[in-house]
C-alpha cells in the first residue's frame, strides 16, 4: 500500500512518535511466544476425553464434556490471575438436532483492558465435538442415530480442538501483557448441534449492548492436507459476510494487513463470503446480532475425518495451527492496543439543505470527509484516510490526515472510489477502518390512482 504524508509540518513535528506500519515490540513478542508444542499438548488432552459431545458424561472426571470443560476452565485460571474465568451456562431446550433438553456451558476468560475495558475483542473456538452416526430410516433414507452419536468416540482434535487450543494458547501468552481494550477468550459449546452456545452468547451480548469491536472465530485450523492429497501450510482462509464494506469485511482486511505484517511468509487469504457452502460457524450468530465477526479456517480440510472417530491427534498438524494462532495473535493484539475507530455521523443539516453527509463533494469535485472524535484517547496521534477503487479488494492508498476531524482530497470523485478513515495512536497502533458507504436504495411506496 502506498503511504502519503500530506501535512508536512504536522508529520515533522511528530517524528518522535512511532510511524504507522512499524512493528510494535509487544505484538512481536506475543507472536513469537505462541508455541506449537503447547498447542499440541492441549490437543492431546482434549482428545483424551474421548468425546466432547454435549450429551456425553458430565460426572466422569476423565471422560466426556464435563471433564473437558472443567479442565479448560482450570487451564485458563492457571495462566494468569488477571484472567476472569467463568462458565456461561444455558438450559438448551430440545430443538432441531438437539434431541433432548441439555445444559450447555460456554467457557469465558476475560482479560480486562486497562484503558477502555468496555471495548472488547473476542477470540473463539468451539470445544464440543461430534461423531455423526447414521442408521437406516423408515423411508430407506439414512437418518441420524442420536443415541449412537452420543456414545461414539468423537476426538474432535481438528474440529475444533485446533481452534480451542489456539484460543487457550493465546490466552496464556496474551494474559502476560496489558491491552487498552478487553480481550475475551471463549470456548463455545454446542456448535455441532446448531451454533447454540454462540447463538445464546451473541444474543445476550447484544441485549447487554456489549461493545464488541470484532470476533475472531477459529474453527478447523488444524489440517494442512486435504482428503485428496493437496497440501499447504502457508495460508489460511478468512471468511467475512457481505456486503463488501460490512464491518466484518473491514475486520477481515485488518487481520490480513496486520497478520501479514508480523508473519510475512504466511498468507491470510480473504474469502468474500460469510462461510463455506452448506456449513456453519460460531461467527454467524454474532453477524446476525450486528457485530463484526469472521471465520478463520484451513483451506486444507479433510472431510473424511470431520465428525468421525478419525479426527485424531495423529491426523492434525499443530505446527500449522500455531501459524494460524500467530496470525490471530498479531491482529487481536494490535486491535486491542489500538484506539477506537472514528465514528461517522451525520453533521447537523445546514440551512437550506435537506441532506448532510459525512462524505461530501466540497466545492463540487472534492472528497470531503467528516468524522467525530468523542472522548479521544490521550495518546491519539491522528487519523489516516484510506481509499481504493470500488472494484479493488484491498485499500490501495493511505494518507495521514493529522489530528483533525475533517479532511479534503481535492479533485477526487467520491463516486469512483471507496473512502475510509482510521485512528492511529502515538505507538503506531491502528484502529479498524470506518468506511463512508453509500446506503442502499430504498424503494418508497408509489401511489397510483
Ligand atoms: Zn467446527
Count: domains in the chain: 2
pLDDT of amino acid 13 = 42
346 and 331: one domain? Answer: no
pLDDT of amino acid 7 = 43
Q: How far apart are the first and last CA of the chain?
A: 56
pLDDT of amino acid 47 = 98
Q: Residue 307, by phi and psi: left (phi above 0), alpha (psi -120 to 50) or beta?
A: left
Q: Measured in angstroms, how far is the CA atom of residue 355 from the centroid of ligand 1?
A: 46
Give the list of residues 6+ apart from residue 209 with CB closer than 8 angstroms, or none.
none
Q: Measured in angstroms, how far is the CA atom of residue 282 from the centroid of ligand 1?
A: 8
Q: Measured in angstroms, how far is the CA atom of residue 36 from the centroid of ligand 1?
A: 20
Q: Measured in angstroms, how far is the CA atom of residue 126 from the centroid of ligand 1?
A: 7
Segment 291-308, tens digit of pLDDT: 999 999 999 999 999 999
Q: Measured in angstroms, how far is the CA atom of residue 220 from the centroid of ligand 1?
A: 6
Whether 265 maps to a domain, the answer reads yes
Distances (CA, A) of 422 to 129, 294, 430: 39, 20, 7
Q: Measured in angstroms, how far is the CA atom of residue 233 from the centroid of ligand 1?
A: 19
Q: Last residue of a domain, which of 291, 316, 337?
A: 337
Q: Measured in angstroms, how far is the CA atom of residue 192 from the centroid of ligand 1?
A: 7
* In the chain, % of residues over pLDDT 70: 93
pLDDT of amino acid 289 = 98
How far is Cα 194 from Cα 445, in angstroms, rounded to an integer? 38
Whether 239 maps to a domain, the answer reads yes
389 and 240: one domain? Answer: no
Q: Measured in angstroms, how far is the CA atom of residue 221 from the centroid of ligand 1?
A: 9
pLDDT of amino acid 5 = 45
8 and 90: one domain? Answer: no
Q: Measured in angstroms, how far is the CA atom of residue 163 from the centroid of ligand 1?
A: 8
Q: Measured in angstroms, how far is the CA atom of residue 158 from the centroid of ligand 1?
A: 8
Whether 443 maps to a domain, the answer reads no
Pick from 124, 131, 195, 196: nearest CA to 166: 124
Checking if the pLDDT of 76 tops 60, the result is yes
Across all residues in the chain, what is the average pLDDT?
93
Q: Measured in angstroms, how far is the CA atom of residue 412 from the centroid of ligand 1?
A: 45
φ/ψ of 256, rounded to 5, equals -60, -50
Checking if the pLDDT of 326 tops 50, the result is yes
76 and 194: one domain? Answer: yes
**Burial of residue 449 (number of CB atoms within 10 Å: 0-12, 13-18, 19+):** exposed
Whether 29 maps to a domain, the answer reads no
pLDDT of amino acid 345 = 74
149 and 293: one domain? Answer: yes
Whether 28 maps to a domain, the answer reads no
Q: Measured in angstroms, how far is the CA atom of residue 280 from the centroid of ligand 1?
A: 8
Q: Measured in angstroms, how far is the CA atom of residue 159 from the centroid of ligand 1?
A: 5
Q: Measured in angstroms, how far is the CA atom of residue 154 from the centroid of ligand 1?
A: 12
- Cα dihedral 410→412→417→419 (10° resolution): 10
Whether 27 maps to a domain, the answer reads no
Pick from 77, 180, 197: nearest CA to 120: 180
Segment 247-294, tens digit of pLDDT: 999 999 999 999 999 999 999 999 999 999 999 999 999 999 999 999
Q: Give me 99's grid cell.
A: 434431541
pLDDT of amino acid 347 = 56
pLDDT of amino acid 16 = 55
How far is Cα 276 from Cα 287, in angstroms, rounded to an integer? 15
Segment 327-341, tens digit of pLDDT: 999 999 999 999 999
CATH code assigned at 405: 2.60.40.10
Q: 13-22, 75-84, 358-367 — which one is most confidently predicted on average?
A: 75-84
Q: Measured in angstroms, how far is the CA atom of residue 162 from the centroid of ligand 1?
A: 9
Q: Give me 150's grid cell.
A: 452420543
pLDDT band at 2 (very low <50, low <70, confident <90, very high): low
pLDDT of amino acid 164 = 98
Q: Measured in angstroms, how far is the CA atom of residue 375 from the centroid of ligand 1?
A: 40
Checking if the pLDDT of 9 tops 80, the result is no
Q: Last residue of a domain, which of 298, 313, 337?
A: 337
Q: Measured in angstroms, how far is the CA atom of residue 302 from the centroid of ligand 1?
A: 12
How far is Cα 306 from Cα 301, in angstroms, rounded to an integer? 8
Segment 389-440, tens digit of pLDDT: 999 999 999 999 999 999 999 999 999 999 999 999 999 999 999 999 998 8
Neighbour tally for 315: CB within 10 Å = 17
DSSP code for 114: S
pLDDT of amino acid 348 = 60
pLDDT of amino acid 440 = 86
Q: Measured in angstroms, how far is the CA atom of residue 128 from the centroid of ligand 1?
A: 8
Q: Last residue of a domain, which of 337, 352, 370?
A: 337
Q: Measured in angstroms, how far is the CA atom of residue 161 from the centroid of ligand 1?
A: 9
Range of the domain at 430: 2-19+340-436
**SS3 state at 213:** strand
293 and 256: one domain? Answer: yes
Segment 149-198, tens digit of pLDDT: 999 999 999 999 999 999 999 999 999 999 999 999 999 999 999 999 99
Q: Measured in angstroms, how far is the CA atom of residue 160 from the centroid of ligand 1?
A: 5
Q: Measured in angstroms, how far is the CA atom of residue 279 from the centroid of ligand 1?
A: 9
333 and 347: one domain? Answer: no
pLDDT band at 140 (very low <50, low <70, confident <90, very high): confident
How far is Cα 53 from Cα 57, in angstroms, rounded to an integer? 9
Q: Measured in angstroms, how far is the CA atom of residue 206 from the centroid of ligand 1?
A: 23
Q: Measured in angstroms, how far is the CA atom of residue 274 from the centroid of ligand 1?
A: 15
Report pTM: 0.94
pLDDT of amino acid 18 = 66
Q: Measured in angstroms, how far is the CA atom of residue 197 from the centroid of ligand 1?
A: 12
For the chain, what's the residue count?
A: 449
Pick from 216, 234, 343, 378: nearest CA to 298: 234
70 and 50: one domain? Answer: yes
* In the chain, % of residues over pLDDT 90: 89
Amino acid at each position: 500500500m502506498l503511504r502519503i504524508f500530506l501535512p508536512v509540518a504536522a508529520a515533522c513535528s511528530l517524528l518522535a512518535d512511532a510511524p504507522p506500519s512499524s512493528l510494535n515490540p509487544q505484538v512481536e513478542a506475543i507472536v513469537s511466544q505462541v508455541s506449537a508444542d503447547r498447542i499440541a499438548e492441549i490437543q492431546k488432552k482434549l482428545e483424551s476425553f474421548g468425546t466432547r459431545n454435549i450429551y456425553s458424561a458430565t460426572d466422569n472426571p476423565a471422560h466426556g464434556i464435563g471433564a473437558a470443560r472443567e479442565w479448560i476452565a482450570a487451564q485458563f485460571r492457571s495462566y494468569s490471575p488477571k484472567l476472569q474465568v467463568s462458565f456461561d451456562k444455558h438450559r438448551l431446550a430440545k430443538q432441531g438436532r438437539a434431541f433432548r433438553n441439555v445444559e450447555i456451558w460456554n467457557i469465558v476468560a476475560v482479560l480486562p483492558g486497562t484503558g477502555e475495558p468496555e471495548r472488547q475483542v473476542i477470540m473463539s473456538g468451539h470445544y464440543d465435538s461430534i461423531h455423526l452416526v447414521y442408521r437406516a430410516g423408515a423411508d430407506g433414507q439414512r437418518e441420524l442415530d442420536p443415541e449412537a452419536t452420543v456414545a461414539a468416540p468423537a476426538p474432535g482434535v481438528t474440529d475444533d480442538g485446533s481452534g480451542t487450543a489456539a484460543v487457550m494458547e493465546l490466552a496464556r501468552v496474551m494474559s502476560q501483557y496489558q491491552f487498552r481494550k478487553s480481550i475475551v477468550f471463549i470456548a463455545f459449546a454446542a456448535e455441532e448441534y446448531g451454533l447454540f452456545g454462540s447463538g445464546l452468547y451473541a444474543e445476550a451480548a447484544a441485549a447487554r449492548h456489549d461493545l464488541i469491536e470484532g470476533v475472531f472465530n477459529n474453527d478447523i485450523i488444524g489440517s494442512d492436507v486435504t482428503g485428496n492429497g493437496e497440501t499447504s501450510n502457508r495460508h489460511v482462509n478468512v471468511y467475512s459476510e457481505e456486503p463488501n464494506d460490512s464491518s466484518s469485511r473491514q475486520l477481515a482486511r485488518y487481520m490480513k494487513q496486520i497478520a501479514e505484517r508480523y508473519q510475512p511468509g504466511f498468507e491470510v487469504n480473504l474469502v468474500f463470503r460469510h462461510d463455506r457452502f452448506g456449513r456453519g460457524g460460531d461467527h454467524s450468530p454474532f453477524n446476525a446480532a450486528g457485530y463484526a465477526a469472521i471465520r478463520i479456517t484451513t483451506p486444507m480440510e479433510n472431510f473424511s475425518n470431520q465428525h468421525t472417530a478419525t479426527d485424531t491427534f495423529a491426523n492434525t498438524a499443530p505446527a500449522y495451527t500455531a501459524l494460524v494462532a500467530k496470525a490471530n495473535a498479531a491482529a487481536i493484539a494490535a486491535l486491542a492496543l489500538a484506539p477506537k475507530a472514528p465514528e461517522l455521523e451525520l453533521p447537523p443539516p445546514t440551512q437550506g439543505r435537506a441532506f448532510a453527509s459525512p462524505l461530501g463533494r466540497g466545492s463540487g469535485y472534492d472528497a470531503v470527509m467528516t468524522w467525530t472524535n468523542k472522548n479521544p484517547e490521550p495518546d491519539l496521534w491522528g487519523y489516516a484516510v484510506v481509499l481504493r477503487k470500488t472494484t479493488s479488494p484491498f485499500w490501495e492508498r493511505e494518507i495521514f490526515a493529522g489530528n483533525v476531524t475533517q479532511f479534503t482530497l481535492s479533485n477526487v470523485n467520491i463516486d469512483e472510489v471507496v473512502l475510509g478513515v482510521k485512528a492511529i495512536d502515538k505507538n503506531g497502533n491502528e484502529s479498524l477502518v470506518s468506511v463512508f458507504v453509500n446506503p442502499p436504495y430504498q424503494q418508497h411506496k408509489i401511489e397510483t390512482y
